[in-house]
């Protein structure tokens, strides 16, 4: 480990000096994971809300299943998406394997259950609180969903952040469907895996530090926005 | 058949850079050694500036690269396990196999060298390691290096399957990850020389056995058969193969040096 500190300092210098290659990797990571979270939210939030207010046979089973899917192993998701997108797979004609789109697809699969399950929990709690009031106003269970989602928006931000955290930190799925191709599908986590395998441990650690920094930055920003929003709510009330 | 490809290659060369759009690219399924050593990063920009074709490299173990290519998820295969490559072509997955370059395997071990191995004879060294039951880190991932390692064990008369999980430890990972594991465990490990030279975490490890002709490591290149997978970009793939095995590609391979050492030796015919 000789010169570890020196190598680490050099790597941090690379980051701070705005090395274009490194920043392209950072931006691709953000682009892929933010897009994945956006799509996952569009699917997962209505799904979670429907599970929270809906009353249908098999609902409990669906909830248990959804909670279990929060722990989907990324490698398995990567493998499933690979088999779908491979040229010999059912969606091979789309030529999506080894593109950022494939990575977004894999992350959507990983993140959607997290957002859906956390949304379900939030909405169910709000529903228990307001159900009587809403019913007395003549609002049906289904029609109350947008109101409940809006009311729980601060808690739902946390659900989005949990999803984002999972997406940006994940390596098993994106390395399989993205291929870790230089300048095309190489993101932060796959770069860290590559540099580690090259034995460049200090560089890998420095990259890991930026990854953590990004996670803190995004989470902090969203939390601040959420907190301010929450305070405004309080004042209005 | 081959004539057709050569004609196709010449034709698309003739149509020239204008026909080859800026977004023209091929996917090459290759091994970690060609990427981790920096070889491909060093030679591919030259190919791109000459032909306008971008080469996207997916670097995995030889076994996985071959399977990915069988699924049609690559236009060209660049790996190092000649018997498996010949099988790939014989089974119709590939068009033709060409020699590209070679380097060699080296036996790495802890400086303390508890099994006391040395010299040139790799089989004798492996037998000593087995005798001493000294830790040995194997790739265990069906890669070219793993296949070569298993051949040497078998020639040395050691049944490593029986020792799996004791002194014989299969990491199931790439070359670099396995070298990291070996460094951590103070284990012996077989590596291709290129990955070893480029490896940044050599701490406490060194080459103990090298120079045995049995440690020769040949790389080959194959165009994935477009008759099996119509999506294969055969003309562009063939242009890449022709370049790699031609004078310019061969010179680029020979010119690639790390710490003043040549890592790969071109030997296309």
> How many Å apart are CA A47 and CA A120, to the nearest integer?
8
Taking CA atoms, B119 is separated from A11, B136, B183, B195, in Å, by: 39, 18, 21, 21
Instruction: Please give the pLDDT value at position A20.
Output: 85
Identify the pLDDT of residue B60: 92
Q: Which residue has the higher pLDDT, B126 or B1?
A: B126
Are the C-beta atoms of B52 and B24 separated by less than 8 Å? yes
What pLDDT is attached to residue A10?
Answer: 77
Q: Where does the pLDDT of residue A236 fall: very low under 50, low under 70, confident under 90, or very high at 90 and above? A: low
Of B58, B72, B199, which is closest to A86 when you measure between CB atoms? B72
Burial class (CB in 10 A: 0-12, 13-18, 19+), B90: exposed
Q: How many CA atoms lie within 13 A of B250 on its CB side?
A: 14
Lowest mean per-residue pLDDT among A93-97, B13-17, B128-132, B156-160: B13-17
Q: What residues in B contact A86, CB-CB < 8 Å?
A: 68, 71-73
pLDDT at B16 over 50: no
**Between B7 and A46, residue with greater pLDDT:** A46
pLDDT band at B10 (very low <50, low <70, confident <90, very high): very low
Task: Tell me which of B28, B47, B72, B195 to substitute to probe the interface with A (most A C-beta atoms closer than 10 Å).
Answer: B72
Q: Does B71 touch chain A (CB under 8 A)?
A: yes
DSSP bridge partners of B207: B108
A174-222 per-position pLDDT tens digit:
999 999 999 999 999 999 999 998 888 888 888 898 899 988 988 888 8
Measured between CB atoms, does B257 come within 8 Å of chain A?
A: no
Q: Is A126 exposed, middle or buried (0-12, 13-18, 19+ CB in 10 A)?
A: buried
| Averaged pLDDT for residues B181-197 | 94
CATH 3.40.190.10 residue spans of chain B: 2-102+218-266, 104-215
Higher per-residue confidence, B10 vs A94: A94
Task: List pLDDT tens digits, range B18-76.
Answer: 334 446 999 999 998 898 889 999 999 999 999 999 999 999 989 999 999 999 999 99
Residue A235 has a pLDDT of 55
DSSP conformation class of A92? G
Output phi, psi for B113, to 5 deg: 50, 65
- How much is the mean pLDDT over chain B? 91
Q: How far is B243 from chain A (nearest CA, A)?
A: 21
Q: Is the pLDDT of residue A142 over 90?
A: no
Q: Which residue of B has its CA nearest to A2?
A: B203
DSSP string, A186-222: --HHHHHHHHHHTT-HHHHHHHHHHHHHHHHHHHHHH
Predicted complex ipTM: 0.79
Rounded CA gap, B55 and B67, in Å?
19
Residues B73, A181: C-beta atoms closer than 8 Å: no
Residue numbers in A near B229 (CB within 8 A): 87-88
Do A197 and B71 lie within an 8 Å CB cutoff? no
- Confidence band, pLDDT 50/70/90 cuts, at residue B13: very low
Nearest CB to B229; choose among A2, A87, A180: A87
What is the percent of chain A with per-residue pLDDT over 90, rounded to a whole number? 59
Residues B161, B129 contacting (CB under 8 angstroms): no
> Of A119, A130, A115, which Cα lies nearest the Cα of A160?
A115
What domains are defined for chain A? Answer: 22-231 (1.10.3720.10)
* Percent of chain B whose pLDDT exceeds 70: 91
SS3 B88: helix
Say what the pLDDT of residue B140 is.
Answer: 92
Option in B58, B72, B199 nearest A87 (CB): B72
Smallest CA-to-CA distance from B195 within B243, B143, B269 is with B143
Q: In which band, very low, low, confident or very high, does the pLDDT at B178 lie, cut at 50, 70 and 90?
A: very high
CATH fold of the domain at B2-102+218-266: D-Maltodextrin-Binding Protein; domain 2 (3.40.190)
Chain A residues lying within 8 Å of B198, measured CB to CB: 198
Backbone angles phi, psi at B140, to 5 degrees: 60, 30
In angstroms, rounded to a whole number, what is the distance separating the alpha carbons of residues A131 and A53? 9
Span B142-152, pLDDT tens digits: 899 999 999 99
- Number of A/B CB contacts below 8 angstroms equals 67
pLDDT tens-digit profile of B205-228?
999 999 999 999 999 999 999 999
Facing residue for A184 by CB, picked from B56, B68, B199: B56
Are A179 and B175 an interchain contact pair (Cβ–Cβ within 8 Å)? no
Best mutation target, A183, A197, A206, A207, to test chain B (most B CBs within 10 A)? A197
Note the pLDDT of residue A41: 97
Mean pLDDT, chain A, rounded, equals 89
CATH topology of domain B104-215: D-Maltodextrin-Binding Protein; domain 2 (3.40.190)
* Cβ separation A197–B175 shorter than 8 A: yes
Q: Where are the alpha helices (DSSP H) in A54-170?
A: 59-69, 74-85, 100-136, 145-151, 153-169
CA A171, distance to chain mean position in Å, is 13
CA B157 to chain A, closest CA, distance in angstroms equals 31
- Rounded to whole angstroms, the maximal C-alpha distance in chain A is 72
Question: Measured on CA atoms in the order B99, B100, B104, B108, is the torsion positive or negative?
Answer: negative
- Phi/psi-derived region of residue B169, left when phi > 0, alpha when psi is between -120 and 50, beta in every other case: beta
At B247 the pLDDT is 97
Q: pLDDT band at B117, cuts 50/70/90?
A: very high
- Distance from C-alpha of B208 to C-alpha of A109, rounded to nearest angstrom: 47
Q: Are B224 and B201 in contact (CB under 8 A)?
A: no
Q: CB-CB: which of A1, A98, A184 is closest to B203? A: A1
> With contacts defined as CB-CB under 8 Å, which chain A residues touch B202?
199
Nearest CB partner across the interface for B201, out of A89, A179, A201: A201
In the predicted structure, residue B128 carries a pLDDT above the cut 50? yes
pLDDT at B8: 47
Measure B229 CA to nearest chain A CA, in Å.
Answer: 8
pLDDT band at A232 (very low <50, low <70, confident <90, very high): low
B180:A196 CB<8 A: yes
Distance (Å) from the C-alpha of residue A69 to the closest C-alpha of chain B?
Answer: 27
Q: Do B58 and A181 touch (CB under 8 A)?
A: yes
| Helix A20-53, helix A201-236: angle, nearest 10 | 40
Q: What percent of chain B has pLDDT over 90?
A: 84
Nearest to A199 among B27, B57, B200 (CB): B200
């Amino acid at each position: 480990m000789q010169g570890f500190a020196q190598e680490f300092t050099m790597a941090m210098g690379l980051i701070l000096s705005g090395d274009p290659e490194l920043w392209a990797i950072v931006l691709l990571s953000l682009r892929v994971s933010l897009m994945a979270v956006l799509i996952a939210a569009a699917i997962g939030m209505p799904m979670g809300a429907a599970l929270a207010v809906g009353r249908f046979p098999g609902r409990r089973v669906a909830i248990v299943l959804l909670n279990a899917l929060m722990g989907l192993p990324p490698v398995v998701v990567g493998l499933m998406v690979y088999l779908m997108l491979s040229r010999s797979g059912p969606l091979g004609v789309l030529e999506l394997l080894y593109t950022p789109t494939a990575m977004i697809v894999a992350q959507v699969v990983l993140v959607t259950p997290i957002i859906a399950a956390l949304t379900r929990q939030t909405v169910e709690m709000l529903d228990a609180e307001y159900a009587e009031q809403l019913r007395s106003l003549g609002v049906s269970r289904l029609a109350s969903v947008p109101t409940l989602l809006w009311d729980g928006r601060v808690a739902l931000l946390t659900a989005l952040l949990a999803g984002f955290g999972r997406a940006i930190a994940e390596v098993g799925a994106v390395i399989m469907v993205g291929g870790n191709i230089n300048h095309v599908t190489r993101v932060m986590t796959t770069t860290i895996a590559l540099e580690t395998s090259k034995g460049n441990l200090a560089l890998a650690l420095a990259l890991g530090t930026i990854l953590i920094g990004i996670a803190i930055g995004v989470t902090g920003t969203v939390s601040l926005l959420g907190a301010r929003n929450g305070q405004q709510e309080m004042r209005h009330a | 058949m081959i004539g057709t490809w050569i004609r196709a290659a010449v034709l698309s060369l003739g149509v020239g850079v204008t026909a080859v759009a800026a977004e023209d690219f091929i996917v090459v399924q290759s091994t970690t050694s060609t990427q981790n050593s920096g070889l491909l990063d060093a030679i591919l920009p030259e190919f791109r500036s000459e032909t306008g074709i971008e080469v996207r490299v997916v670097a995995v173990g030889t076994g996985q690269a071959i399977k990915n290519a069988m699924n049609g998820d690559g236009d060209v295969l660049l790996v190092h396990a000649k018997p498996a490559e010949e099988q790939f072509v014989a089974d119709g997955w590939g068009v033709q196999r060409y020699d590209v370059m070679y380097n060699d395997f080296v036996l790495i071990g802890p400086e303390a060298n508890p099994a006391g191995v040395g010299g040139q004879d790799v089989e004798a060294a492996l037998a000593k390691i087995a005798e001493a039951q000294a830790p040995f880190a194997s790739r265990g991932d069906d890669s070219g290096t793993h296949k070569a390692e298993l051949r040497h064990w078998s020639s040395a008369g050691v049944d490593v399957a029986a020792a799996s999980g004791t002194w014989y430890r299969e990491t199931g990972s790439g070359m670099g990850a396995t070298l990291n594991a070996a460094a951590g465990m103070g284990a012996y490990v077989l590596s291709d020389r290129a990955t070893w030279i480029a490896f940044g975490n050599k701490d406490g490890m060194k080459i103990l056995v090298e120079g045995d002709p049995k440690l020769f490591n040949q790389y080959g290149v194959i165009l994935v058969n477009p008759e099996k997978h119509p999506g294969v970009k055969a003309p562009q793939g063939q242009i890449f193969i022709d370049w790699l095995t031609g004078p310019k590609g061969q010179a680029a391979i020979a010119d690639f040096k790390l710490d003043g050492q040549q890592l790969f030796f071109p030997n296309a015919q």
